[in-house]
Amino acid sequence: MSDTIRLLPDHVANQIAAGEVVQRPASVVKELLENAIDAGATSVKLVIKDAGKTLIQVIDNGRGMNETDARLCFERHATSKIKQAEDLFQLHTKGFRGEALASIAAVAQVELKTKTQDAETGTTVRIEGSKVISQEVTVTQPGTSIQVKNLFFNLPARRNFLKSNTVEIRHCIDEFHRVALAHPEIAFTFLNNGSELFQLPISNLRQRIVNVFGNKTNEKLVPVQEETPLVNISGFIHKPEYAKKSRSEQFFFVNHRFIKSGYLHHAVLNAFEGLLKEGVQPGYVLFLEADPKTIDVNIHPTKTEIKFEDEQTLYALLRSAIKHSLGQFNLVPVLDFERDQTLDTPYSYKDKTPVIPRIEVDKNFNPFRENTSETPPKKAFKKTLSPAWESLYSGIKKEIISPTGLDDSSWELAIESEEKTGAFPFTAEELSESSPVFQLHNKYLVLPHQEGLLLINQNLAHQRILYEEILKSITVSRASSQQLLLPLEMDFSKEEIRLLAEIKEELEFSGFVFATFDAENVLLEGIPVFMEATDIPAIFLQLIHDIQNEIPETGFSQNDLIAKSLARSGAVKNGSSLALEQQAFMVRKLFLCKEPGISPYGKKTMVTLSRNELDNKFS
C-alpha cells in the first residue's frame, strides 16, 4: 500500500495559513502599518486604491532591511522580533510570529523596496503567490515601501467574497484609526484613490483624537489619568451628553495594542451609570499600560481579545479612574436631597426647545375602554396636520392587486409572494370604498373582511410603505422635497461626514436638499415630504449608526440600507393616534406595496384571524 500522507508544497501551506491572517484588505493594512511601527518609523503613509482591492501600499521611514532580510522576511516564521520562547513574555513589538508577510505574499502580488538607514543602495523584491519574481539593487529612500496589489488574485473565490468598496474601506479606516490613535508620536497620511482621507501630524493624544474625529471632538473630551502598581490608565472619555448610539468611538489599547474587551467596556459603562439615557454609549480612547508579564500574549495575532492576570482588580481600577474623572470635571450631578427628582430633565431633552403638543380627539368609539375620562393622556400625534399625508395621498396610483379566494393555509404564503400568487384578499380600490378601518390602542389598524379579521401594525406598515417609496426615489425617480423655512445646520465628525458624503446622492434622490456640505458640517434646506424638520438630526444619527453597524455578511446594498433606515425613522410611531382618513390611506398604500406583508427589517406587518379561528373561539 502506498503512503497516503504527503507534505503540502510550501505555496499551498502558505495559502492555507494566509486564510487566517489575511481576511480582507483591512487585514493587510493592519499588518503593514504595524510592521512600519515596529521598524521605528516616525512617518507612515498609507495609500490604497479601490478599498484596497487593487492596491495597498505602506511607506515608512523606519530602519529598513538589508538585502538578505528583504528576501527572508517573506519566509514563514521569519521574524526579527523574538529569538527565544522567553521573549514572548517581554514583547514590546506588535508582530512576533513572522507570518504576516509570508501570508500576504501567498495571496497577492507584492513589491518591496527597502533600504537601511546607512546603506548606499536598497533592494527591490517582487513576489507573487509566494513565488519570488525578482530581486534587484535599487536606489530608494531609507525605510520601507511595500505595495500589495490585487489581493487574492490567485484565489478568485476569496476575491469574490470581498464586500462592496464601501464596506471594505470602512474596515481599512477602522484599522487605520486603531493604529493612528495608539501612536500620536508618529505622523500618518492616508490616501484613498488619490484623495487624502487623513493627514495626522505628530502630536499629543488629545490633538490626535481631534485630528482623527474632527474639531468638534475637542469639547467632548475629558481626560482620565490613574497610576497604580498594577496598571497605568490614561486617555480620554467623552462627556456623557455626547454619548451616541454608535459604538464606533470606543477604543481600548493595552500597551499600545488595540484590544476588544467586553469586560473592560462594562467597567466603563458601570462608571457612567445614571448619566446616560437608554440606548446610548459613551465614547472613549483609553490606554492601559501593564507589565507584559501580566498579559497573556499567546493569542492569535489577528484576534483582538486579550487575557489579563488580575482582571477583577483591573475592572475596579478602571471603573474608579473614570468615576474620578467624571467627578473631577463636575459631570456627576451633585447629590441634593432637597431637589425634586421628578423635575430633573434627562440630558437629551435639556437643550430642546419645547413644542406645544397638538391634541387630537380620537373619533373612534372604543368598546374596550369603559371610562374615557380616566384614561391617561394620549401622546400627541405630530404628523396629523403635516403636509406629508396629503402629499402622499395625492401620489396614490390606481394599481390593482387581483383578489383571489383565500384559505388559511395560503395566508402565510400569500404574504411572501403576493405578486406572483395574487393571493392577497383585497384590492386597494375595494379597501378605500367599502372596508371600515379602525385603530386599536393607537397601534393597530383593524380591518374586518369577509374571510376574517386583519390586524395591521401601523408603524411596521408605514415602514414598508416608506421603504418602497424611498427605494423608488433613489433608483428610479427623484422624490420631491419640502423646503425648510430655516435651513438646518448639523455638525458631524469627519468620519460621519465621510459616510454621509458617500451616500449624498442617494440622500438627494430621497428628498434631502443640501445647501452646503463641507468637512464637518452640513446645511440642509430641503427634506423629504414625510419628515419633520425637528426629527432630522435624530434621523441622520440613526442613519449613520445603521451604516456603521450594517453587518457586511448580510449582503450589503447601500440603497437598501438607506431606504430601510429612513423608513424606520420616518414611519409613524406606535402610540400615535391616526385620523380616519389616515388609517384608510395607510391600508390602501400598504396594499399597493410590492411586499405588504413584511416590514423592511423582516417583521410581519400584519396578522390575521380567519373565520374558522374566530368560530373556534366560541365553540
Chain residues in the site for ligand ADP (CB under 6 A): 31, 35-36, 38-39, 60, 62-65, 73, 78-81, 95-102, 144
Rounded to a whole number of angstroms, the minimum distance from the CB of residue 65 to Mg ion is 13
Rounded to a whole number of angstroms, the minimum distance from the CB of residue 598 to Mg ion is 47
**Residue 39 or 317: which CB sits closer to ligand ADP?**
39
Q: Which helix (H) or strand (E) holds 413?
A: helix 410-416
**Residue 35 in the binding site for Mg ion (CB under 5 A):** yes
Using the contact rule CB under 5 A, the part of the chain among 97-105, 188-196, 197-205, 328-336 near Mg ion is 97-105
Q: In this structure, is the dihedral angle defined by the CA atoms of residues 404, 407, 413 and 414, taken in order, positive or negative?
A: positive
3-state secondary structure of 311: helix
**46 forms bridges with which residues in the sheet?**
58, 190
**Residue 132 or 316: which CB sits closer to ligand ADP?**
132
**Residue 61 or 493: which CB sits closer to ligand ADP?**
61
Rounded to a whole number of angstroms, the minimum distance from the CB of residue 68 to Mg ion is 18
**Residue 38 or 418: which CB sits closer to ligand ADP?**
38
Q: What are the grid coordinates assigned to 464, written together?
A: 414598508
| First-last CA distance in the chain | 75
**Residue 35 or 473: which CB sits closer to ligand ADP?**
35
Closest CA to 547 of 217, 279, 170: 170
> 399: how many CB neighbours lie within 10 A of its CB?
10
Rounded to a whole number of angstroms, the minimum distance from the CB of residue 301 to ligand ADP is 7
**Residue 283 in the binding site for Mg ion (CB under 5 A):** no
Pick from ligand ADP, Mg ion, none: which does 222 bind, CB < 5 to 8 A by kind? none
**Residue 99 or 249: which CB sits closer to ligand ADP?**
99
**Residue 62 in the binding site for Mg ion (CB under 5 A):** no
Rounded to a whole number of angstroms, the minimum distance from the CB of residue 100 to Mg ion is 4
**Residue 37 or 322: which CB sits closer to Mg ion?**
37
Which residue is nearest to Mg ion, using beta carbons? Answer: 95
Among 28, 100, 306, 401, interactor with Mg ion by CB under 5 A: 100
Rounded to a whole number of angstroms, the minimum distance from the CB of residue 535 to Mg ion is 48
Closest CA to 288 of 262, 266, 270, 315: 315
Rounded to a whole number of angstroms, the minimum distance from the CB of residue 186 to Mg ion is 16
Rounded to a whole number of angstroms, the minimum distance from the CB of residue 35 to Mg ion is 4
Among 62, 95, 282, 511, interactor with Mg ion by CB under 5 A: 95
Kindly write down the DSSP assignment for every residue of 26-49, as one continuous string: HHHHHHHHHHHHHTT-SEEEEEEE
Q: What is the rounded distance in angstroms from the CA atom of residue 173 to the CA atom of residue 308?
A: 28
Question: Residue written as cell 470635571?
Answer: 329
Pick from Mg ion, ligand ADP, none: which does 466 bind, CB < 5 to 8 A by kind? none
**Residue 101 or 465: which CB sits closer to Mg ion?**
101
Integer CA distances (angstroms), 197 to 142, 190, 384, 485, in order = 25, 6, 44, 34
Pick from ligand ADP, Mg ion, none: which does 65 bind, CB < 5 to 8 A by kind? ligand ADP
Using the contact rule CB under 5 A, the part of the chain among 29-37, 40-48, 280-288, 579-587 near Mg ion is 29-37
Rounded to a whole number of angstroms, the minimum distance from the CB of residue 215 to ligand ADP is 32
- Residues 255-262: contacts with CB under 8 Å, at least 24 apart: 255/92, 255/288, 255/289, 255/290, 255/292, 255/295, 256/182, 256/183, 256/287, 257/94, 257/182, 257/306, 258/178, 258/179, 258/181, 258/182, 258/304, 259/304, 259/305, 259/306, 260/304, 260/305, 261/305, 261/306
Q: What are the grid coordinates assigned to 137, written together?
A: 539593487
Using the contact rule CB under 5 A, the part of the chain among 34-42, 133-141, 224-232, 285-293 near Mg ion is 34-42
Q: What is the rounded distance in angstroms from the CA atom of residue 55 to the CA atom of residue 84?
A: 35
Pick from ligand ADP, Mg ion, none: which does 36 bind, CB < 5 to 8 A by kind? ligand ADP
**Residue 32 or 584: which CB sits closer to ligand ADP?**
32
Using the contact rule CB under 5 A, the part of the chain among 98-106, 343-351, 355-363, 471-479 near Mg ion is 98-106
Q: What is the rounded distance in angstroms from the CA atom of residue 181 to the CA atom of residue 257?
A: 10
- Write the CB contacts of 141 (distance below 8 Å, at least 6 apart in sequence): 61, 115, 122
**Residue 32 or 579: which CB sits closer to ligand ADP?**
32
Rounded to a whole number of angstroms, the minimum distance from the CB of residue 44 to Mg ion is 14
- Write the CB contacts of 128 (distance below 8 Å, at least 6 apart in sequence): 105, 108, 109, 110, 153, 154
Q: What is the rounded distance in angstroms from the CA atom of residue 17 to the CA atom of residue 14?
A: 5
Q: What is the rounded distance in angstroms from the CA atom of residue 482 to the CA atom of residue 488?
A: 13
**Residue 97 or 163: which CB sits closer to ligand ADP?**
97
Rounded to a whole number of angstroms, the minimum distance from the CB of residue 210 to Mg ion is 29
- Which of the residues 563 through 582 are near Mg ion (CB under 5 A)? none
Residues that bind Mg ion (CB under 5 A): 35, 95, 100
